[in-house]
Every structure is written in C-alpha cells, then in structure tokens.
Chains A and B, each alone.
Chain A
Amino acid sequence: MIHINWLSPLLVLGRAPAKRRPVKPVNTGRLNPVCIIALFWLLGVIPALAASPPSTSPTVIDVGIQPMGYPVAIISAVMERDAVMRRDLAAINLTVNFIPYKKGNDMVELVGNDQLEAAFLGDMPTIRTIARTDVRIVGLVKQTFTSVVGRKIVTPGELKGKRIGYAIGSSAHHTLLQALRSAGLSEQDVQLVPLEINEMPQALADRRVDAFSGWEPAPSLARAKVPECRILFKGSSSDYFLVADRFARRNPAAAKILATGFLRAIRWMQGSQNQLEQAATWAINDSGRFSGRASGLTIPQATAIAQRELLSIPSAPVIVKLPGESPRLTEEFNFLKNLGKIPANADPGRLRTAFDCNILQQVIRDGSRLRLKEFAYQP
C-alpha cells in the first residue's frame, strides 16, 4: 500500500510501528477516542485535500522485518542503513520504512491488506500469505532448521502429555506439528503453551514448559541455560524476502531497488568477515532496542548463524529453478492444509506463481545500472 504524504499524521496516529498491527483485532465494544477524532479529521480534510494539488513528499514503502530472528535481522539491519537504496528510492520520490515485528505471523494480514509492501517471512507465514494474496518471492533469506528442544526428552514420541511452548502460526509451529506427526501424535496429545520466542529458553529453564519449538537463537540459548536439554527434532525451515505483487506491478522500479538493496546487503556481508560482524552488531543493537533488553546473542554466534544459514548456501539468496523440482514449500502447503491451518480451498498453484519471479535475475542482469556493487551504509 502506498501512502500519500498528507496522510502521514493519520498514519502516525494509527499505525506507528507498534500500533500498525491489526493482526488480532481487539473487540472492546467501543471506538478508540483517538481514532474517532482522526476519523472526523479525515472526513473533514479529505474532501479539501482532494481538491488540492498533489504533494511532492516522498511515498513511504513499508517493509516488515523481524529483529528477533537471525539472520533476517542482520539483513534487514544492513538494508535499513543502505544509503544507496534510499537515494535510489528518493530519486523516484520514495522512501522506505522498516517496521519491526516479533514474528512473521503478525505480518500476514498486513501484507494481504497492502499495509506492508515487503516483508521478511518464514515458510509458514509465507505459505499463509501466499494462500491469501499475491506476492512475489524475491529470494532466500535463511535456510535452517527450526528445533524442538526438550528437557530430558529423547524422542518425539516422549512429547505425549508434555507442556510445549510455541509461537502460534510461526514456522516453529509448523515444525512442532511435523515433530508430533513423525511420532504419530497430534496437538491434542500435548499441552500447547503459547510463548514469545524470546521467552522460550527461560520458560524451559523455569520448568514452565517441558519443551518448546523455536528458531535460532532460542535453541542455542536454551542449551546454554539448561545443560540437560537437547534438540530432539529439527524441521527444515526457510525464510524469504517477498514483495506484494500489487506493489511490484504498480512500481516495478521500486521493487527492483528493494530487491537490489536486499541482494546488495548479502553481497556486502559476503565481502568480508568485518563487514559481516558490523552487520551482526547492528542487528544485535536493533534487537535490543526492539525487545527492550539484550538479545543474549554474541556477534560470533550471530555471524555463525548468518554463515551457516544463508551465506554458505550455494547461489543464495537466488532460488535456482531447475526442471523437475517443485517448490520446497509445496509439501508444507499440503501439510498445513490437511491440518486446517490454511483454507481447504487454497490453491497450491499459487506457490509456483509466487516463486516464478525473476526479480533477482533482473537485478543481477542490471547490476551496473542498479549499482548492485556500490556499497554505502550509514550506521
């Protein structure tokens, strides 16, 4: 969704980063007074503005990021500081705003409602987003495993009857479902305890849960806190950078600039270890600001995660399409549909459409024009 500049005051009131998440509507039975005032202001001002000449203020592109997830946080931290990208966007009268979210599931409806133009999402939110709206997968952000960590639990079959922490709707939720299915169990056989991802290690240490399903760095932190815990299940998981299809069609140049910034950030991190550590430092700081407390992750841990889960993957972030291959999310799509997590009439063909984009190929092809190899990051 592209916002015109004169709506900025309303947007500031109604969708500040922490407020712009109508993911879980709260039915309080009455309207927020601020919203009522804003509505009157809007009804009164819009007709007048409609008659006024168009503004020259830059249009904002909202990009949803996850400061608590690595290496996504590192990539987004670098992109936020990409002066080249900002200049290129400014050249076409655009600006970019990176909005932090705790988990990708919070962004599914925002992308579907054009409130976010781009987002970094895990595989399960990506599938849910694809199931409800048209998006384009730009590239791979992470290829890793989401882990089920348990205290004194050896096999998934021993999860029966246990209290398990999970983030509903996340890729870790998908992994938990996989783990239960592998042992012939279902969600009804365990006690599900909704938790934020950053709460899970401490919850396991406090014995509030017997196990949890989470992504890095939660499993690493849990193993550091609770020596007797072990990873009893891993499910492969991938994060993607995607842009809304309507945004890309409406403003392909802007989409390319975003994709260039995305690829540039990865190339910059691949350039040297120092640059990667700088990026990790930015990400850790951003995570701390977002969560209000230190992430507990060290720079070496963060860089190792980035290396292992993204930078060492051949061709990453480009998703190479080869004959005979089906999108790796297809199996997950069917799995979630069978579980009722996505509508039964969702079309798996939308996956192929989402992955059949070649934005990064175009970027690479026009790398010179898009200044792909020009790096300028402002701390």
Chain B
Amino acid sequence: MTAKPGSIWSRTGLRLQLLLGFGLLSLLIISILMGGWLFGIPFLGVDGFRQVKIAEVVRDLDYMAETSKQLLSQWIRERRADVAIMATDPLIREAVGSRDSARGKPPQISGHLKILKESAAPYYDRLLLVAADGRLCGASDGAAALPLGLEAMVPGLLSQGATEVVCTARIEGKAAIIVSRQIFTGDGTTETPAGIIIGLIPPTAAIQLFQEISPYTAESTSSIFLTDYSGHLLSSRKQSPAETVEQPLLPETLHRQLASHIETTLVERTTTGRNLITAYRTIPLSASEGWGLAVSLNYDEALRPLVAETVKTALFGSALTLLTLLLISLLFTRITTPLRALHDAVIRMQKGDLGSRAPLFSSGGREIITLASAFNEMADKIQGWQEDLEQQVQVRTLELEDSARQLKESEQQYRSVVENTDDLITRVNTQGRILFVNATAIKYWGLQPDECIGLTAFDFIHPDDRGKTMAAFQGWLSGNDTTLSFENRQVATSGTISDMLWTISPLRTPQGDIIEFISIARDISSRKRTEIQIRRRADELVALNTLTRQVGLSLHQNQIVAAALNGMINATSADMVLFFTRDNGLLRLAGAAPDSILATMGDMSQHLEGECLCGLAAAQGKAVYSDDINLDARCTLEECKRAGFSAFAALPLLGGEEVIGVLGLASYEKREFGVQAEFLETLAGSVAVGLQNARLFDAARRAEKEVRELNAGLEDKVSERTAQLQETNAALSLEIEQHLQAREEISWLNNDLLQRSQELERANTELETFSYSISHDLKAPLRHLIGFSRILQEDFADTLPPEAANFIDRIDRSSRKMVVMVDALLELSRITKSVLCRKQVDLSAMARELVTELRETSPDREVTVEIAEGLTASADPILIRVVLQNLLGNAWKYSRNVPHARIGFFATEEDGTTTYGIRDNGTGFDMAHTDKLFGAFQRLHGAEFEGTGIGLATVQRIIHRHGGKVWAESRPGAGATFHFTLG
C-alpha cells in the first residue's frame, strides 16, 4: 500500500502505526477469544459460557420442576393409598353396605371418618362417605349433606369402572382436590360399587410439599404454580431465601402454557415486562384429568451471574488488551528507537548533512544494525561520491562549457553551411507556409528574409510545373517513402527560370505526426544544359553515323549530294543546305535543300573561290562561320541575306589536302554554328570522303570503260590504259587506305566519345563491307579481262596475228597480276582493320616454325639460319607472324641465288627499347631507293624475284599498329638487314 502524501498515515510515525495496528489486532483477537469463551463457537460445536450457564439454569430449573412433580405424584399416590385403605375399612364398608347406613349410624361413621382424617392429617380438609344411591353416609366434619359442588360429581364417581378418581373441583366456592375410591362390599364377582369415600384436600396442602424443595439459589426467588386441567391456578408459592411465603399471581403466559399440558422449559416475557424462565410439568391424574405445574424464575436474576461473568470477562479482556498494548509499546519502542535514529540520520543526510551517521543500537536487532551499518557505509560512499562528483562536476562543467562553445561553433558552422550552401534550404509547415529560408534561397528568390516567411513553397514554382509538383507531393504523402525527390522549375522574382532538384524530408513528432517539412533544392540548370549538350552530342553522332552510312552507300556524286543535303538538314537542323563542288576555281552548286527556298534566292549556280563565305571556305580550306551574315562583311553575296537568313556556316569538303567542295548551312534564326564546329566539320569530312569515293568510283568506271575500249582497240591503248589503270588503282588504294584511316579515326572518336555506341560499330562494319565491296568490284572487271583474253587466245588464236596474240597474252598476264595485287591489297586492308590483341609471343619459336615451313618449300636449298634464343615480345601473335613471315620469306627469297645463304634473327636492346633484326646475305638493294621500299606495289627488283610489292607495306602497317617502326639497311650484293621495334 502506498500512502498518499498528506494522508494521515504519511504523518503518523511507524511506532504509532505499529502500536495502532497491533493494538487493534490484539483487541480483535482478545475479543474473539472472549466472545468465543462467552458465546461459544457454534460451527465447531463448542459451547460458550453463556450456553453453559443457560443450560445450567435450565437443568437446575428442570430439576426443581421434576422434583416437584415427583413429590406431587408421590403425594397423590399417597393420597390415593390413603383413600384406598379407607375404602377397605370394615366400618366404612359396613356403613355403605348396610341398607340403613344412612339412617342408623351416621354419627358413628362420621366420628370414624374424623379419626381417619386426623390420622392422615394435615392433608385432608374433610372425608366424606357416600352411599351408592348418592346420599351422604358420613362426613369427618359431621356435615349432614354433601358440600356444594360435590353433588354433581357423585354420579360420575359412582359410575362403573370409575374405581378411583383424583380430580379437582370447586367445592363451596374454593378449589379442592378430590380423591375418591369406590367401595365394593360383595363377594367380588360384581363390580357395582356400594359407595364411595371421598377425600377433599385443599390445594395449599399440596403446595406445602414444596417447602422441602430448596430455592433455586441463595439470591434468587422462584415461584411454583399448580393449576388444574384447564390451567386455573390451584395454588402457588414463592420460594425465597427469606422464607417469605406468599402466593404469587399466575401470569397469563404461564396459564396458557399450563393449559396445554406440556413439559418443557421456556423463556417468556410477561405482560409486565419481566423475563421469566419457567419449567412446565404435567401431572396426569386420570384419563381426562391432570394438573399443571410450573416452576418459574426471573430470567434476568437467574442469569445475573452470567452478566457478572461477562463484565468480569470484559474487564479481563480490557486489562489483557491494555497489558498487551503496553508490552507491544515497549517492544516497539525498543524496535523503533534504532529505526528513529536511523530515520533522523537519513533526514539529516537528506537535508545535506552528508556527515550524518546512524548510531548502532544493540537493541535494534540484527536487521536494523545491519541496516544502520549499511546506511553508514552508504553514507560514507555517498560522501566519497559527493566529493568525486563535485570534482567531476567541475570537470564536467568545463567540458560542458567547452562543449557549449563547440556546439556554438558547430551551430555557427552549420548555419554557415546552411547559409552558404548553394542549395536552397527551407522549412515549411504542413500548410506549406515557409518558416525558414537560408541566404541562398533569399538571394535566389530575390526577396528579403521577412518577405519569404509566410509565403508558400508553391509560390515560386513555374506555373506549368505546379500541377506535377502537387501530384508528386500528394503521392508521396500517401506513400511510405521517407523522402521525396522531384524536379521542377522555379521562377525567381527577377523572372529567372531555373531547373531545381528538390529533396523533401518530414519532421515528425515521436508519435509519427508530421509537423514540418525540410526541403533542399539544388539548381540543376547547368546540369540540365550539360545533359542537353550530351543529348545533342549523341544526336549529332547519330546524325553523323546516319550521314556517313548514307554517303558511304552512295557511289555516285548525285547520290552523295542528295544524301549529304538530306543528312545535313536532319543533323544540323539548318534551314537550308547548299552543296558546292569545286571545279577549276569555281564553286558549282551541286544541290540545295530545300528546293523551295533555293527557287526564291536567285542564281546560286556558282561562286568564285574567295567570294562570300563559301568562297572563303574553299579558298582557305577551313570552315567559315557567321552568326549574322547581315553584319558580316565577309558575306558579299546578297542572295542569302535576301532570303532572310541570319547565321551561316561554310564547310569545306577536303579530299586529302584539296578542297573538293563546300557545304553551306543557313539558318533564319541567330545561331552560333561555331559551337558545333567540330561536329559540322566532321560531317563535312564524311561528306567529303563520300564525294571523294564517288569521284574515285567514277574514275574506276571511266577506267573500266577505257579498258573496254582498249580491248576493242590497240595494244598500246591497252598498255596505256593498263598503266593508267595501275596508277588509278594505286591512287585508289591510297585513297582507300586514307579512307580506312579516316574510318579508324572516326571509330576511335566514336569509341572515345560514345564507347557503347552500337550504331557506330554497325557503321564501321558497313564501312568494312564497303571496302571489301570496292575490292570485289575491282576484281570483277579483271576477271572479265582475263576471261575475254583467254577467249581470244583459245577461240581466235588461229586468226590473230602473232603480235596481237602476244599482246593478248600480256594483257592476260597483266590482269592476273592485277588480281594478285588486289588480293594482296585486300589482305593488307584486312590486317589493317583487324583488332590488335597483344600477348606475350615467343618470337624465337615462331621464327623456327616459319623457317621449317620455308625449308619444306625448297628442300634442296642449303640455308644457314641463326635464330637467337629467347626472343619474346608483347604483340598480336597473328600479325607478328605475318611480319616474320614476310621478312624471313624475303630473306629466304632474295638469298636463293647465293651459294651459301645465311639468315639470322636477332635482337638488340638500347635505351630500354628492343630492336629485332632479320638479316641475310642475299642480293641486297640500293639504299637510294629505300623510300620506296615500304610502299604498296613498290618493287626494287625485277621479275627474277616474284612478288606483289605489298609485303613490306604490310610489314610496315603492322609495325605501325604496334606503335613501332621498321627500317632496312642493305647494299646491293651484300645482303640486307631489316630492323623493327614494337611499341
């Protein structure tokens, strides 16, 4: 139980509480014990003193009543015996048996009756002798007639069977006890009475019997009542120690009970308010007669000892309670004194006296001594802790001050961060009202700090973005995400529109309710612009690829022009594109798009180099840009101005070092084409390559046409044409190589800029296909030359003059040679475009394998081959094998005329660079022609040594792809040494 502060228990001491508790408990226990002793424990069947006393009273009263009843019954039996004896008295019998008894001897019989009465004194009032006819024969008092009241009873007393009768009746107005006996005088065979003898006894005679009975107690008075059958009082007597004899009146209550002929003991309240305890008895006299006997006591008097005992018990209980309380008080004083001392010590300590200690009382018991000791120890510890604590407080105070300072600095730093960050930081309430903005936001929005407070965050959102922003915000509130991120546009008071990235986080109560939002906005406009640029760059690359593919698929100039116009329009979004070709100092308009604008511009068919912007680009070989041609003095022609264009770009189309055309881009809007210079010039490069290819293709077609004309004409023409064709082919090869190199550069550019651009790879593949297609297409007319030459040799050999047959044979051989050359050229192209895959390669082993293969081709040759051991290199295994195959093959080939051919493969190292070398002691060559040594189709030897002139060109290309270089040293007849390095 916890006492409420201020309650009576909280203000009462432990000793008093214990005293009260144990006092009440003692009182309760003593009361129960006293009550149990006094009233018993009914459910245990234990009688209390009260029950015992009442039972004792009842038992004593019963004894009195029973004794009285027995005395009275005995007295009646004695009276019956008296009368029975009288009935057998000879004189009595004679008196009633004589016919003249009534007449002859009344005086004598009366005297006899008197004598009998006196002998049975003092009970009988009188004795009467009555004859069978009812007449009085004699009376002890000498009366001559039956007393009043008895006459009516005589017939009954004389009736058959009424041998003896004991009853009561009122005789002469007073109650009397009648004892009668029939008198028989015959031989005993008849039962008809001759008369009766009657004894009249006053009831007081009966009640006097009770003088022999002791009163109930020495202090109390008992009353005895004798009643007749109907409960009428016959006699009564009060028994008291003073032996005062009086006849008490019969209470009505007792009268009613006596008339019921019961035997019991009852406690009753009389009409006068007295409580009586009465023992009732019934004394049967005959079949229809009986007396009632009641012995009554004043109940309260009878139980007076009980009251006294109760008082004594209460006094004893009270004394016992007081004694118990006294002992308990002493005991608790002994117990609580140490507790109080401990309490006082605790209070002193509570008030700050840390030096307070509890005294150790030996009377306190082990627990309290232990408690006091524990308290003292605890106080010692607390005092020690107090001292430590004070020190710690001082230290802690300093730490807190330091922390506060740091916190302040941190807060200032935080505020500095918040205020100086480039992000807009705001706090808004749940209604969207701004509670705080940092300096960046204030500056951004162009408002004063107090102007921002109260505005809503939506006030600064671009009107077009408010719906989207609100939807995102509502969706976030209904979802489970902790933060919301979205982008929108903000409009500053200055009208500046910025792209912002918002991050919003809620501030919640511990119950999870949102109270505020913290929003951080970052200006992502520059990022957006970068993204746009990247996207535009990607678009440009796509457009470049598209244009390159379209141009690459076109073989005719017209197709190139159409593809370029269309591609440039799409790639640059220019309003108009002009395509000029350069021809002998003039720029001729090859095409323009759209045609509708061109039709409105007047004569744009040709320019002079150096005239206007396109002419300048053609003359200078570099792009010319003008943001506004109307203000640009370089724009000398008026057609574009008249057409309404503002910006213009003139892009030269370069075929190698030569300007082969110009692309002009015009825009109605002011536009800085220069910012896209790289892209535009790359586009122009692609168009230039296509235009160049178209021109080469035209040249090839023209060459084919000329060959066909030669076939139909003279051998000279064939030779001339063949030579031209060779030149053309060489130029074509060179152009193809340049084209492939450009493709590589484009590919590198694409890989560098768009590493994962699939479109560009596809374009490269298509470009490779294009190269192959070109080579394949070149081989087709050659096969026609060979085929037709063989037809001429086989079908017209008989008709051809020998000289013509010789020419045809030469055409055939030349054509076959050209096929070999084209194949070599394709091989060179394949090697060039193959992907370089470097690995660690054992060059010594590879050289030995190749030498073995060479020996197998010329098993009869004796060639000394010296291959240095352990030569390795990081190179593409396939390409480096081609290098060694060509160099060892050349050494093997050009040493075949030497009797003791020697070939060596070695390596030297200088400045960390490994130089490999292959030497032979073959025919060698003149170093004056060394510049032609690695050119395609360049040969320093005649037909005595077979070859295509591509081998060393291939070697050089492979070495270059590895980042190395290759050179040769030789003298004619002294063999040659080829050196190479690998990057």
* Residues of chain A at the chain B interface (Cβ within 8 Å): 139-140, 143, 145, 152, 154-157, 178-179, 182-183, 232-236, 238, 313-325, 327-328, 331, 358, 360-362, 364-365, 367-368, 373
Contact = CB atoms under 8 A, between A and B. Distances in A.
Contacts of A154: 51, 54-55, 58, 265
Contacts of A157: 266-267
Nearest to A316: B287
B285 A327 contact: no
A351 to B, nearest CB: 12
A313 B286 contact: yes
Given A157-B266, A232-B264, A313 B160 contact: no
A236 B288 contact: no
B434 interface: no
A236 B45 contact: no
A321 B153 CA distance: 9
B159 A314 contact: no
A140 B165 contact: no
B247 interface: no
Contacts of B152: 323-324
A361 B160 contact: yes
28 contacts: A140-B287, A152-B47, A154-B265, A155-B58, A155-B264, A155-B265, A155-B266, A233-B263, A235-B261, A235-B263, A236-B284, A314-B80, A314-B164, A314-B285, A315-B287, A316-B287, A318-B160, A319-B286, A320-B162, A320-B286, A321-B156, A322-B169, A322-B288, A325-B167, A325-B229, A331-B260, A360-B161, A361-B161
B192 interface: yes
Nearest to B58: A154
Contacts of A140: 287
B58 A314 contact: no
Contact of B288 (A145, A152, A328): A328
Contacts of B169: 322, 324
The residue among B54, B80, B153, B160 with the most chain A CB atoms within 10 A of its own CB is B160
Contacts of B358: none
Given A139-B287, A361-B160, 19 more contacts: A152-B47, A155-B54, A155-B267, A157-B266, A179-B264, A232-B264, A235-B263, A236-B261, A314-B285, A315-B287, A320-B157, A320-B161, A320-B162, A320-B165, A320-B286, A320-B287, A322-B153, A322-B289, A324-B152
B558 to A, nearest CB: 132
Contacts of B165: 314-315, 320, 322
Nearest to B181: A314
B163 interface: yes
Nearest to A153: B55
Contacts of A323: 152-153, 156
A14 to B, nearest CB: 37
B455 to A, nearest CB: 91
A296 to B, nearest CB: 24
A315 B162 contact: yes
A364 B159 CA distance: 10
Contact of B45 (A152, A320, A331): A152
Contacts of A362: 160
A235 B153 contact: no
B440 to A, nearest CB: 98
Given A154-B58, A360-B161, A364-B191, A327 B288 contact: yes
The residue among B47, B169, B264 with the most chain A CB atoms within 10 A of its own CB is B264
B262 interface: yes
Contacts of B290: 236, 328
B296 interface: no
B130 interface: no
Contacts of B47: 152
B692 interface: no
Contacts of B45: 152
B368 interface: no
B159 A320 contact: yes
B189 interface: yes
B104 to A, nearest CB: 29
A236 B166 CA distance: 18
Nearest to B169: A324
B816 to A, nearest CB: 142
The residue among A156, A183, A318, A365 with the most chain B CB atoms within 10 A of its own CB is A318
A176 to B, nearest CB: 12
A123 B667 CA distance: 150
Contact of A322 (B51, B160, B167, B266): B167
Top 8 nearest A-B pairs (CB, nearest first) are A318-B161, A234-B263, A236-B261, A361-B160, A140-B287, A233-B264, A320-B162, A319-B287
Contacts of A314: 80, 163-166, 285-286
B282 interface: yes
A178 B47 CA distance: 27
Nearest to B282: A236
Contact of B287 (A178, A238, A373): A238
A182 B257 contact: yes
Contacts of A325: 167, 229, 288-289
B284 A313 contact: yes
A365 B160 contact: yes
Contacts of B191: 364-365, 367
A314 to B, nearest CB: 4
Contacts of B163: 314-315, 318
B968 interface: no
B473 to A, nearest CB: 84
The residue among A140, A236, A238, A322 with the most chain B CB atoms within 10 A of its own CB is A322
B259 interface: yes
Nearest to B163: A315
A327 B287 CA distance: 10
B29 to A, nearest CB: 27
Interface in B99-146: none
A331 B259 contact: yes
A237 to B, nearest CB: 9
B159 A361 contact: yes
A129 B45 CA distance: 43
Nearest to A317: B287
Contacts of B266: 155-157, 182-183
B75 to A, nearest CB: 14
A367 B160 CA distance: 11
The residue among A154, A314, A365, A367 with the most chain B CB atoms within 10 A of its own CB is A314
